[in-house]
Amino acid sequence: MKQYIVDELRLGESEKIKTYLDENAGHSKMDGIYRIELDKNILADIQAEHKECQPFYFAINIKPASVSCELLVRSRNIIRCNCISYATEAQRNWIIQFIDSMFTKLEIIA
């Protein structure tokens, strides 16, 4: 699985991130996993065409010393479809900017 990982978080930083995501993101049924809905303006052509598969999201996994983001863009409505794929360059940049912005808001230096 392709991922973007920020590791070596300091004590308490993962809790700040969890609190932020509890307030600003969608939960999954698994502890420490969050769903961040992808901006519709950066959907790949096939994703934009597949209205029934929208919305699309990427998953963030919070652990005590790290944050990892899958670079797989998933659908909330369907498990298998050809619109589910690894992030495009624009989507990958958006995901990284999302994480960087969150760290800035939380005053986490990574």
pLDDT of residue 28: 67
Q: What percent of the chain has pLDDT over 90?
A: 85
Q: Is the pTM of this model over 0.85?
A: yes
Residue 62: what pLDDT? Answer: 94
pLDDT of residue 109: 83
Whether pLDDT at 67 is above 70 = yes
Amino acid in position 61: N
- At 20-51, the pLDDT tens digits run 998 888 776 778 899 999 999 999 999 999 99
Least confident residue range of 21-35, 67-81, 89-103? 21-35
3-class DSSP state of 54: coil
Query: What average pLDDT does the segment 68-97 reach?
Result: 95
Token code pair at residue 12: 């308490």
The burial class, CB within 10 Å (0-12 / 13-18 / 19+), for 60 is buried
Helix (H, G, I), strand (E, B) or coil at 82: coil
Neighbours of 71 (CB within 10 A): 19
Check residue 42 and give its pLDDT. Answer: 97
